[in-house]
Structure 1
Amino acid sequence: MCQDNRQRAELRRGLGLPVERCNYMHRHLVPWLRDNDDQGYGDVRRAYYGVASLIAARPRSARQDNPEDTSATAWYQRPNLGASLGQAVAKGVFKPNTAESALHLMSRQSSDAVHRSLPALLAQLTGGGTTVDWAVLLKDLSWWNRDRDRIATRWLDSYFRTDTGEPDPTTDLPEENKR
């Protein structure tokens, strides 16, 4: 859908907005939703609208990149938002404190607040050449209100497991204290 300028613009209009204010997006997204997806304007629909607008809002350089195919990778091994932020820190797109603060803040926020904050965060991520696994983000946002703590913990775990280029805090420890 994002190959056509008009469609991309219509999808981009929904950045950070609730579904009720995304009138131009309905024609593009309703065919992708099942009748039983949230019965109205629930979490799944909000996630589809939010991720579609984020994809449409990517800078031109990010749209031209061909992300690697992760469809055959086990779900738990695919990069989530925390891993993407860790990669962005390693590339110098974010400072470590900024990325970590963003994750901690989002882990305490409602779905509405997360949807409002994602456009700026992901614009900086994708503008800096960091890829985002849109399918993983879609699933995480779909489940945010039902499983926020588990998703936020997974994001934080992935962030801290990603090689950000920061020094390993265990390098100065005696050998018996290292894990």
Structure 2
Amino acid sequence: MTDSTPAAPAPPVSSPVRVSDRFIAYVHQVCESNQARAALRRGLGLPVERCNHMHRYLVPWLRDHDDPHHADVRRAYYAVASLIAARPRSARDTTPGHGGSLSWYERSNLGASLGQAVAAGVLKENSAESALHLMTRQSSDAVHPGLPALVRQLLLGGVAVDWAVLLEDLAWWNRSRDRIATRWLESYFRTADGTTDPAGSDPAQENDR
């Protein structure tokens, strides 16, 4: 990695920061360079094996080991980095979306974002529900290619995406799809109906992953 590539930011000493949030902040920083943003954007919807131009920016974040789960984690990192890089111009000036003082289970997942889009009239209810139900039945191999168009619709409509939550959900999708899918569906229906909190998860069901 050359000197022109920003170093991974260190978390504040006073408060712990999730690795996923640190990574999202790093990608936003990298994307301040037009050249780097273009390189990351070229991986949109592609498997890691076809993203050679992204390695210089992302490899330092991923340890190389034989855990079969590593492939899912790596693909999630590459996918989310490319989604951030491909944000429409209107969404580029936003700071990294995170929960601030919210507990992890209170933060918005993709289901909540879809619910917000329906409530705001950005997406039609039938379209949002169909997309969500389809994803919850698919493996990550099928979910990843459909994310770019869906996320772009959300961002163009002014609906925020919590990138760190999406990153972790994608990384764990093949191992915990049913649990994550249930959380997305619950969050969607609560948010689309305008009831309670947007995340809608039971803290007892969440872990630090």
* TM-score normalised by L of structure 1: 0.86
**Aligned residue runs from structure 1 range 92-171, under 5 A:** 92-164=121-193
**Cα root mean square deviation, aligned:** 2.0
1:112-166 Cα distance to aligned partner (Å, 9 max, x none)? 1100000000010011111000000000000001011111110000000104469
Distance 1:131 1:153 in 2: 21
Equivalence for 2:5: none
Q: 1:17 aligned to 2:46?
A: yes
Which residue of 45, 52, 59 corresponds with 1:30?
59
Cα deviation, residue 72, structure 1: 2.7
Unaligned runs of 5+ in 1: 167-179
Give the corresponding residue for 1:172: none
Runs of 4+, deviation exceeding 3 Å = 35-41, 66-69, 163-166
CA contact (8 A) 1:67 1:131 kept: no
Match of 2:91 among 46, 62, 73: 62
More relative contact order in 1 or in 2 (CA 8 Å, sep 6+)?
1
Contact 1:11–1:52 (8 Å) recurs in 2: yes
Q: Report the Cα distance in structure 2 between the residues aligned to 1:89 and 1:12, rounded to whole angstroms.
A: 27
Query: Which segments of 5 or more consecutive residues in structure 2 lack a partner in the other structure?
Result: 1-29, 196-209
Match of 1:86 in 2: 115
Q: Distance in 2 between matches of 1:152 and 1:71?
A: 24
Displacement of 1:90 in angstroms is: 1.4
1:54–1:119 CA contact under 8 A, matched in 2:
yes
Residue pairs, 1:2-13, within 5 angstroms? 2-13=31-42
Q: Give the greater-gyration-radius structure (CA).
A: 1
Native 8 Å contact 2:119 2:194 kept in 1: yes
- Is the contact between residue 81 and residue 137 of structure 1 (CA under 8 Å) also seen in structure 2? yes
Report the counterpart of residue 177 of structure 1 in structure 2: none
